[in-house]
């Protein structure tokens, strides 16, 4: 179950990662990249600010139920003129007034409902932030692995280009001495030209994936740690039961948590809006003092004791129980209540959608992992077989029993098998992390496990984005 965290949750995450990684200036592996993403990713930072902003809804809602105190003061100069049969006086005077008023809500159901709505909204915001923290792990891993795959693809393309160049040179030499027909040269040339185009395409793709990773960290990396021995351990989901993963997701998925609390907030909002025409009770008290200084001497003032001059000093205090009963407000309350009911229905449908997404996507991710393990095993065997096949075809070509076309075809199949293996391994890693994200259990430890599958040599070749571009 979701447990509300303190407002320092973001700093806690950052501190944990810092302690786990150390203080390197530039990133070379997955954990270093993640650390920089925590510090620089705009999406994650915005999610944190949004949570902190929304957490202020609770004290704001409570304000209507807490004591209210107001102090006001007035100072001014007035001109008083008195005319009668016996007197005609114009007298200026200084007037000072102080007023202190206080009130305490005794019964305000609307305000109380708004407090409950605020509490649910803040819980939803916290769940959304936790989901954003997990999503950052997922996005960082995906972007990092995409970059590795792009680099692998480029390496395969360059190796293919070099192999095709050697084949072209061999074909040309064999043609020059009359061992091969010109068609072999044409075939080798076509294969080489195609490999050149594939290298250019792979280079552009690598640049694009590098920029995608840079959006998270505001850094550009000239080197990132690859998979150790180009392999990953084939780990089955634990527990190895899709229904248990679905059940965990229903209980712990943070997006689903947020949807549930948003639904509760919408329900409380209906109560708040419908209470707009309920009576409210409050205790109110006030005291004020007015002092008027005419500037007259006491003897002169005595001559006007029975005049209409305002008193020189006046004080008044009172305490009362007040009721406010908004009987009719032009249909405003009824309209706001209907609006709140429609918003509740919207929140209900959104929760249902997220619920279905969690259930279906958890099953898809689980099956993707199972299939991925089988595919990676098959891919590894295919690569091994294609290597043997290429060696055999090349040997047969040397003795004239195979053509250049056969060699080129075998070479193509090997590189395709290698690229397929690389892609399936990265997809398997992403599926493992995605399943835990859907279950709501994804954390930094999972990222550290993936990082342990990489070479850990740290090369400080990353530079700040702005410097790299200058």
Instruction: Give me the pLDDT at residue 230, please.
Output: 86
Kindly report which listed range (47-51, 98-102, 134-138) carries the lowest average pLDDT score. Answer: 98-102
pLDDT more than 90, % of the chain: 55
User: Alpha-carbon distance 195 to 164, whole Å?
Assistant: 7
436, pLDDT greater than 90: yes
Is residue 330 within 8 A of residue 349, CB to CB? The reply is no
361, pLDDT greater than 60: yes
Query: Helix (H, G, I), strand (E, B), or coil: what is residue 454?
Result: strand
The domain segmentation of the chain, as residue ranges, is 9-66+108-279+328-469, 68-107+281-324
Average pLDDT of the residues in 222-229: 88
Please determine whether the domains at 9-66+108-279+328-469 and 68-107+281-324 fall in the same fold group of CATH: no
For residue 76, the tally of other CB atoms under 10 A from its CB is: 9
Average pLDDT of the residues in 195-223: 92
User: Alpha-carbon distance 347 to 260, whole Å?
Assistant: 8
Instruction: Give me the pLDDT at residue 467, please.
Output: 34
Kindly report which listed range (78-92, 281-295, 328-342) carries the lowest average pLDDT score. Answer: 78-92
- Whole-model pTM above 0.75? yes
Instruction: Give me the pLDDT at residue 303, please.
Output: 52
Pick the CATH number of 9-66+108-279+328-469 from 3.90.950.10, 3.40.47.10, 1.20.1600.10, 3.40.50.720: 1.20.1600.10
Instruction: Give me the pLDDT at residue 84, please.
Output: 67
pLDDT more than 70, % of the chain: 85
Per-residue model confidence as pLDDT tens digits over 373-402: 999 999 999 999 999 999 999 899 888 888
Average pLDDT of the residues in 233-248: 93
Kindly report which listed range (15-19, 61-65, 206-210) carries the lowest average pLDDT score. Answer: 15-19
Measuring CA to CA, which residue among 30, 41, 38, 50 is closest to residue 11? 38
Average pLDDT of the residues in 115-135: 95
- Residue 2 — very low, low, confident or very high, per pLDDT cuts 50/70/90? very low
Per-residue model confidence as pLDDT tens digits over 398-418: 888 887 778 888 888 998 999
Specify the CATH superfamily of domain 68-107+281-324: Outer membrane efflux proteins (OEP) (2.20.200.10)
User: Alpha-carbon distance 73 to 283, whole Å?
Assistant: 22
User: Alpha-carbon distance 34 to 137, whole Å?
Assistant: 7
460, pLDDT greater than 70: no
Kindly report which listed range (182-186, 250-254, 359-363) carries the lowest average pLDDT score. Answer: 182-186
CB-count burial class (<10 Å; 0-12, 13-18, 19+) for 288: middle
Residue 66 CA from chain centroid, whole number: 34
């Amino acid at each position: 179950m979701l447990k509300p965290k303190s407002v320092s949750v973001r700093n806690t995450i950052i501190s944990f990662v810092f302690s786990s990684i150390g203080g390197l200036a530039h990133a070379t592996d997955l954990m270093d990249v993640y650390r920089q993403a925590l510090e620089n990713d705009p999406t994650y930072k915005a999610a944190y600010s949004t949570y902190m902003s929304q957490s202020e809804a609770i004290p704001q809602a409570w304000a209507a139920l807490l004591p209210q105190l107001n102090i006001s003061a007035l100072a001014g100069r007035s001109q008083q003129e008195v005319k009668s049969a016996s007197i005609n006086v114009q007298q200026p005077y200084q007037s000072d007034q102080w007023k202190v008023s206080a009130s305490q809500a005794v019964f305000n159901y609307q305000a109380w409902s708004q407090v409950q709505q605020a509490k649910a909204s803040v819980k939803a915001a916290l769940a959304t932030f936790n989901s954003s923290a997990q999503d950052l792990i997922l996005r960082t891993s995906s972007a990092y692995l995409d970059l590795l795959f792009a680099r692998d693809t480029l390496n395969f393309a360059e190796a293919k280009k070099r192999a095709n160049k050697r084949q072209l040179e061999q074909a040309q030499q064999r043609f020059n001495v009359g061992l091969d027909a010109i068609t072999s040269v044409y075939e080798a040339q076509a294969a080489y030209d195609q490999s050149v185009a594939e290298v250019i395409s792979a280079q552009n793709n690598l640049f694009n994936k590098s920029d995608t990773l840079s959006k998270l960290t505001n850094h550009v990396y000239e080197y990132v740690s690859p998979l150790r021995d180009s392999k990953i351990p084939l780990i089955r989901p634990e527990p190895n039961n899709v229904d248990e993963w679905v059940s965990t997701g229903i209980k712990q998925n943070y997006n689903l948590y947020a949807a549930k609390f948003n639904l509760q907030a919408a329900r409380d909002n209906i109560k708040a809006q419908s209470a707009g025409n309920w009576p409210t009770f409050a205790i109110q008290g006030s005291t004020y003092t007015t002092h008027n200084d005419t500037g007259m001497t006491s003897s002169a003032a005595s001559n006007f004791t029975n005049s209409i001059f305002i008193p020189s000093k006046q004080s008044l205090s009172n305490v009362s129980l007040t009721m406010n009963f908004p009987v009719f407000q032009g249909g405003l309350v009824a309209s706001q209540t209907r609006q709140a009911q429609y918003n509740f229905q919207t929140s209900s449908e959104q929760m249902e959608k997220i619920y279905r997404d969690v259930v279906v996507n958890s099953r898809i991710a689980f099956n993707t992992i199972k299939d991925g393990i089988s595919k990676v095993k098959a891919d590894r065997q295919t690569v091994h077989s294609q290597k043997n096949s290429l060696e055999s075809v090349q040997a047969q070509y040397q003795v004239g029993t195979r053509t250049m076309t056969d060699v080129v075809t075998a070479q193509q199949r090997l590189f395709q098998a290698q690229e397929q293996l690389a892609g399936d391994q990265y997809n398997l890693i992403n599926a493992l992390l995605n399943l835990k994200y859907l279950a709501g259990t994804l954390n930094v430890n999972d990222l550290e496990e993936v990082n342990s599958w990489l070479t850990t040599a740290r090369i400080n070749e990353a530079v700040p984005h702005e410097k790299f571009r200058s």
